[in-house]
Structure 1
Amino acid sequence: MGGRVNSIGIIGFGRFGKVLANILQKGFSIKAYDPKQSSPFSGVEFVSLDELLKEKTIFVAVPIRHFESVISDISSRISDGTTIIDVCSVKKYPVEMMGKSLPENVGIIATHPMFGPDSFMSNNRLKMMMNNTRDSHNQFKFWKGFFMDQGIQILEMTPDEHDRMAAQTQGVTHFLGRMLKEFGIKKTSIDTQGFRDLLDLVDQTCNDTWELYTDLQLYNPYTKDIIENLKKSTDTLENRLKELQS
């Protein structure tokens, strides 16, 4: 295989599923399935799950916590020659789930578009992590080229490499944003640019769902230790101040 793809399917049509559809509309007809979708979306045909599973390229854009159950549900119903592409924000977990559950004749491409609905609209320097996990049907090169043609920088790495870095970037960013919101950070009349950047961080991270925050913390195996080290750093700074006062 490895030829031209004309149509694709998307399982899950939440906030990021819509972003994905906007990108993919530039080259493909799109079918989507989401049991909660009730309103139409331009350029997308909503179909039953069985109908969608006839597609040869299927993007899975469901919350991380639901990923295993979705993959288990579709594993015995996928047609031969299909390639599954996930867009989860963590990578070791979904790759393990796909490798364990999907038949050998189903291709697997692991991706993490490192942008969300908000940053997609305002950022012209988009990045996407990709991993050629099991390219049974020679689709990896095609999809890498397509996303590059959309102006997206592609970073190839292993799921483990991704999660180690994401724990320090995405995990810490979302933790700090949520922590500052819990603290009650507010705009003042003497805000510096640095402070305004912190307010923007809160807005951006907290505009994502609470479920995304908890999934990033719980499903990346490296995030817990990173956050613990971050907390220890605050203790270190506090102890240094105490030393000056003693």
Structure 2
Amino acid sequence: MEIGIIGGKGDMGRWFARFFEMEGHTVHISDIDKGMSLDEMGARCQVVVVSVPISATVDVIEKIGPVMAKEALLMDITSLKAEPVAAMLSCADCDVIGCHPLFGPEVPSMNGYSFVLCPARTGNGSWLAWLKTLLQKNGACLVETTPEEHDRFMSIIQGLNHFNTIIFGMVMEALDTDIQKLKPFTTPIFEEKILIIKEVFSHNARMYSEILTRNPYLPAILDQYEQTVREIKHLIEIRDAYTLQKKLQNAGDRYPEMVKQNPGCTSVKE
């Protein structure tokens, strides 16, 4: 089978190129001014994977969609799903599956990691069955949902989470904090936070910025964030430790013990 990856020179594009090649498929790459043209890719490839920055995804889909054969499969692996899936349905006549691998290019395999699927147009179901079989064979924990539900959940899992990290880092910058002077006093948790801040600020600033600014569900969550900060700040200012303690205990009751592996996953390889 011939599989095309648009954005194949990026980190995740390279990861999936290796993955499909190891599965025995012929992989063609298209990237900025490099590799196969989109017209040729649409004509030759049975499967095309869009792996470009969020802000470029719809533009790419609008170019590749119309040249895809009706019998083919068009997928994307961006962090948001509603807009790309709608674009794929609008621009292509082939099968459409929105995907979100919940891991980064630093992992050696998808074994034990969640992989979100948003089947949008599946014809007779053969492409969806092919993809599920391929992912489960490699140990992925499949999560099937709608693009809208995915984006709502990601507004918390990615949006709120990354927003909190960014605020932490920017406050430290505003305080002109000397990290080297803090080093002798740091705890393991603090060191881990610093590494995450460095990742967000230095290595993937564009990706994190687009995750925050393009999720339509995030602004309402940040309104609640702002209100909660004001409430906690007030308790700190008046030194009301008792009320703060009760709030922490009440909130803590909502959090079950987390397990690393998706409890519904049955395909993890030993």
**Partner in structure 2 of residue 34 of structure 1:** 31
**Partner in structure 2 of residue 64 of structure 1:** 54
Shift of 1:122: 9.0
Distance 1:125 1:201, change over 3 A: farther
**Partner in structure 2 of residue 42 of structure 1:** none
Please say if residues 49 and 75 of structure 2, whose CA atoms lie closer than 8 Å, have aligned partners that are also in contact.
Answer: yes
**Partner in structure 1 of residue 247 of structure 2:** none
Please give the secondary structure, in 1, of the residue aligned with 2:32.
coil
Distance 1:160 1:234, change over 3 A: same
Shift of 1:207: 5.0
Please give the secondary structure, in 1, of the residue aligned with 2:71.
coil
**Partner in structure 2 of residue 155 of structure 1:** 143
C-alpha distance after superposition, 1:132-190 (max 9, x if no partner): 21112520111111111112211111111111111101112222232233233635112
So what's the TM-score if we normalise by structure 1? 0.84
| Equivalent runs, 1:221-236 vs 2, <5 Å | 221-236=216-231
C-alpha distance after superposition, 1:77-105 (max 9, x if no partner): 222311101101011111111122223xx
Please give the secondary structure, in 2, of the residue aligned with 1:111.
strand
**Partner in structure 2 of residue 205 of structure 1:** 200
Please say if residues 177 and 206 of structure 1, whose CA atoms lie closer than 8 Å, have aligned partners that are also in contact.
Answer: no
- Match of 1:23, as an amino acid? F
Please give the secondary structure, in 1, of the residue aligned with 2:67.
coil
Correspondence 1:101 to 2:91:
yes
Please say if residues 83 and 139 of structure 1, whose CA atoms lie closer than 8 Å, have aligned partners that are also in contact.
Answer: yes
CA distance in 1, matches of 2:202, 2:139: 25
CA distance in 1, matches of 2:239, 2:109: 44
CA distance in 2, matches of 1:178, 1:36: 33
Please give the secondary structure, in 2, of the residue aligned with 1:205.
helix
Distance 1:167 1:56, change over 3 A: same
- Match of 1:161, as an amino acid? E
Correspondence 1:115 to 2:103:
yes
C-alpha distance after superposition, 1:47-100 (max 9, x if no partner): 222221121111011111111111112232222311101101011111111122
Please give the secondary structure, in 1, of the residue aligned with 2:80.
coil
Distance 1:32 1:122, change over 3 A: closer
- Which one of 119, 133, 142 corresponds to residue 132 of structure 1? 119
- Match of 1:154, as an amino acid? L
Greater Rg over alpha carbons, structure: 2
Please say if residues 92 and 220 of structure 1, whose CA atoms lie closer than 8 Å, have aligned partners that are also in contact.
Answer: no
**Runs of 5+ consecutive residues of structure 1 not aligned to the other structure:** 1-5, 38-45
Please say if residues 128 and 153 of structure 1, whose CA atoms lie closer than 8 Å, have aligned partners that are also in contact.
Answer: yes
Task: Tell which deviates more after alignment, 57-66 or 124-133.
Answer: 124-133
**Partner in structure 2 of residue 144 of structure 1:** 132
CA distance in 1, matches of 2:154, 2:62: 26
Please give the secondary structure, in 1, of the residue aligned with 2:185.
coil
C-alpha distance after superposition, 1:199-246 (max 9, x if no partner): 23213433542221222112221112222322322211101112337x
What percent identity do the matched residue pairs reach?
24
Please give the secondary structure, in 1, of the residue aligned with 2:22.
coil
Please give the secondary structure, in 2, of the residue aligned with 1:229.
helix
More helix by share: 2
- Which one of 14, 17, 35 corresponds to residue 18 of structure 1? 14
**Runs of 5+ consecutive residues of structure 2 not aligned to the other structure:** 241-270
CA distance in 2, matches of 1:163, 1:107: 21
- Match of 2:31, as an amino acid? D
Correspondence 1:180 to 2:177:
no
Please say if residues 130 and 154 of structure 1, whose CA atoms lie closer than 8 Å, have aligned partners that are also in contact.
Answer: yes
So what's the TM-score if we normalise by structure 2? 0.77
Aligned-residue RMSD, C-alpha: 2.1
Distance 1:123 1:208, change over 3 A: farther
